[in-house]
Amino acid sequence: MRADILIVGQGLAGTLLAWECERAGIVFSISDRGHAMAATSAAAGIVNPITGRRLVKSWRVDTLLPAARAVYRDLEQALGVPLWREMRVRRLFADEKERAVLARKLATGELAPFVTERDESGCWIRDAARVDLPALLAAARARWQATGRLRVEDTDFRVAAGRHELVIDCTGAAGVAGPGRFPLVPWEFSKGEVLEIAVDGLAPDVVLNRRHWVAPVGEGRAWVGATHQPRASDMAPSTEARAVLEQSARERLAGRAFAVTNQRAGVRLNLPDKRPVAGRHPENVCLGFCGGLGAKGALWAPLLARQWVAHLTGGVPFDPEIDVRRFVRPPAG
């Protein structure tokens, strides 16, 4: 059967979308040129229920977290690789303002059930997790290449639109600047960098967080990140980011020796309203989009994939908070 749906890009958004299509029996193919430019390649896959200096619950985390856990657990079984690890976050105060914010929000119950106690140095955040994104992408890629569903190639969207009933753009920051593809959306770019380090003695289920984080990713290994450079879209690792992250690692690791083994950079795709994007192009219904995951990809990607499958199988409208049509301006007058 000809695959009338083409998914372009096999980063996190494209992988989760393809997986949900496969489970729903939707015929699809994937076109992807490789992961060198993907933001996922520099993403640690951390799912943190409470984020930011203002200690805010991640958007819809109460419902999205259990749904994400279920999806990644299903993928573990299908792909035969461990992907989801339950974690705790040791959030350390960066200053007195954060200490006051936490005290106020604990008093009102705003952070329940994820934060219930504090001490003089910070607090513990429960129900966090880490998704092994490199393992997920590699295993899924092998699965779909073996079945002939994935082709390693660049995609000309204009040509593809003439060959498929629907082309869904999952290329993230690498693709949104293409001609004629969603210029109505006010895309924002943010470069993020991480260090991979060799270090011994870390608790395997604890992320250390104070402005930057240190996340264990295996025996004797951890990632340190991530920097945030608004409006930057180059992919080159920088000496400035390395210096900042090395200093953060020294502070978080409290004298424990470590060695930098690698440095990665990626470009996040964000929106001014801090929400992801899914849906059909308002003027060309043969073109769709799935992405804009920012720094919350591991938590948000399952939602976008499910939205697309509900739309494709039952004509369900996209959630207005993520629908690309939210950026369409009404006619003047």
Residue-number span of the structural domain to which 208 is assigned: 188-270
182, 202: one domain: no
**Does 212 share its domain with 254?**
yes
If asked whether residues 315 and 263 sit together in one domain, one would say: no
Q: Is 310 part of any domain?
A: yes
Task: Tell me whether residue 317 is in a domain.
Answer: yes
Can you give the pTM of this predicted structure? Answer: 0.94
Q: Does one domain contain both 167 and 288?
A: yes
Residue that finishes a domain, picked among 233, 250, 270: 270
Q: Is the dihedral of CA 23, 149, 182, 237 positive or negative?
A: positive
Task: Verify that 200 and 265 share a domain, yes or no.
Answer: yes
**pLDDT at position 1:** 38
Total Cβ atoms within 10 A of residue 92:
15
What pLDDT does 331 receive?
67
243 with 285, same domain: the answer is no
pLDDT mean across residues, the chain: 92
Backbone CA torsion sign across 308, 270, 247, 209: negative
pLDDT of residue 46: 96
Residues in the chain: 333
Same domain as 203, residue 164: no
Strands 50-51 and 212-218: unpaired
Same domain, yes or no, for 150 and 279?
yes
Q: Is residue 121 part of a domain?
A: no
Determine the Cα–Cα distance for residues 202 and 301; give it in Å rounded to an integer: 29
Question: Looking at residue 206, what is its pLDDT?
Answer: 97
Using 50 as the pLDDT threshold, list the residues of the chain that sit under it: 1-2
**Looking at residue 278, which CATH number applies to its domain?**
3.50.50.60
Is the same domain home to 202 and 178? no
Q: What is the CATH number of the domain that holds 206?
A: 3.30.9.10
Residue 36: what pLDDT? 54
Q: What total number of domains does the chain contain?
A: 2
